[in-house]
Amino acid sequence: MSIKQKCLLICILIVLAVLILLGLDFYKINKISIFNQVQITLDQVKISTLELRRSEKDFLSRQNLKYLDKFNQEFEVTQSKLTELEQAVTKAAIKTDGITTLTQEFKQYHALFNHLVNTQK
């Protein structure tokens, strides 16, 4: 093997190594982006939960039905955010058992609050 061939082989190996590193960087950036989306959606679910609690508290203190409407609107937002969260978590290859349980708990909370409002009427 001549020196020219050895230099060419080394250059090819260096180019391959750089391409592999670029591919790994792209993969890591993609994974980080997916996990960031999960975190953002989870934060939105937390905010929506706080809004639900706020509407509940306002209704209980003022007995005004407009807070029931706010609660129901925010519940729909929460449900859509939970669906987004489940999709993002599935995309990130994380178990979704907890999200299913959380969705059921929110539905139960919604039903109990509406029952409370109906008994208050």
What whole-number distance in Å separates Cα of residue 104 and Cα of residue 98?
A: 10
Check: pTM over 0.75? Answer yes or no.
Answer: yes
What is the spatial distance between Cα 90 and Cα 65, in angstroms, rounded to a whole number? 38
| Tokens standing for residue 16 | 């391959």
Q: What is the pLDDT of residue 52?
A: 97
Between 4 and 96, the higher pLDDT residue = 4
Residue 79 burial by Cβ neighbours in a 10 Å radius (0-12, 13-18, 19+): middle
pLDDT per residue as tens digits for the range 61-84? 999 999 999 999 999 999 999 999
